[in-house]
């Protein structure tokens, strides 16, 4: 048994759910702030990674679940590699997101939820990310039709956006989605 499974787990329902989802015990955190100091996105977060972990430990479940922090997380894992207590903070971020979606809590940043749905729908259909299709899906969801037009044109001119999709691996990806669906039904 690892240290993280034997250490005391917070009484918070959410901290326990995070432990079940990710195997990460937030009670190992001693607030050194190394995760927050290294996080490239922390300037935009409402609670820095270390603060979110602390809130989890204190049982401030509503605050955590309605925070912008995990939705802004870029999953770069800098926090995870810096943590002296071996708390995989990036995994905690993922777990909080999964639990929030499961509990029907809408992302505090609407566009992030729209992006997630557009990207997943696109990958499910095409087998891999087809950027143009994903952009169309995102625009339909956010209704920000002309936002980032200049950037899109620039990418297109540089050959970064392909007009036609490739369906390579589409069957395999579809099978993965089916498998996930079956697992989720069992849970």
Site string for ligand SF4, 83-122 (x = CB under 6 A): xxx-x-xx--x-----------------------------
Name the residue among 1, 16, 4, 2 with its Cα closest to residue 87: 4
Which of 4, 18, 19, 49 binds ligand SF4 (CB under 6 A)? It is: 49
Q: Does 68 contact ligand SF4 by CB under 6 A?
A: no
Among 59-67, 70-78, 102-110, 150-158, which window interacts with ligand SF4 (CB under 6 A)? 70-78
What's the start-to-end Cα distance of the chain, in Å? 24
Q: How far is the CB of 178 from ligand SF4 (least distance, A)?
A: 29
Q: How far is the CB of 181 from ligand SF4 (least distance, A)?
A: 27
3-class state of residue 74 by DSSP = coil
Q: How far is the CB of 179 from ligand SF4 (least distance, A)?
A: 26
Question: Own/partner pairs for 53-58, CB < 8 Å, 24+ apart?
Answer: 53/26, 53/29, 53/87, 53/89, 53/92, 54/29, 56/10, 56/12, 56/14, 56/15, 56/18, 56/26, 56/92, 56/96, 57/10, 57/12, 57/15, 57/26, 57/27, 57/29, 58/10, 58/12
> Which is nearer to ligand SF4, 74 or 153 (by Cβ)?
74
Q: How many Å is the maximal CA-CA distance in the chain?
A: 55
**Within 9-38, which residues bind ligand SF4 (CB under 6 A)?**
29-35, 38
Q: Does 77 contact ligand SF4 by CB under 6 A?
A: yes
Q: Which residues bind ligand SF4 (CB under 6 A)?
A: 29-35, 38-39, 41, 49-50, 53, 73-79, 82-85, 87, 89-90, 93
């Amino acid at each position: 048994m690892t240290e993280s499974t034997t250490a005391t787990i917070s009484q918070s329902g959410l901290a326990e759910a995070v432990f079940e989802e990710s195997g990460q015990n937030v009670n190992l955190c001693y607030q050194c702030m190394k995760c927050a100091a290294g996080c490239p996105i922390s300037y935009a977060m409402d609670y820095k990674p270390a603060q979110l972990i602390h809130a989890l430990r204190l049982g401030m479940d509503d605050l955590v679940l309605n925070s912008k922090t995990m939705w802004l997380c870029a999953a770069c894992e800098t926090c995870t590699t810096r943590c002296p207590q071996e708390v995989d903070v990036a995994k905690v971020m993922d777990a909080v997101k999964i639990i929030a979606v499961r509990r029907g809590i809408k992302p505090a940043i609407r566009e992030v939820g729209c992006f997630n749905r557009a990207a997943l729908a696109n990958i499910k259909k095409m087998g891999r990310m087809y950027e143009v299709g994903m952009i169309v899906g995102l625009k339909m969801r956010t209704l920000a039709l002309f936002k980032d037009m200049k950037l899109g044109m620039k990418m297109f001119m540089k050959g970064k956006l392909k007009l036609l999709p490739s369906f390579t691996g589409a069957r395999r990806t579809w099978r993965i989605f089916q498998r996930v669906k079956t697992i989720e039904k069992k849970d």
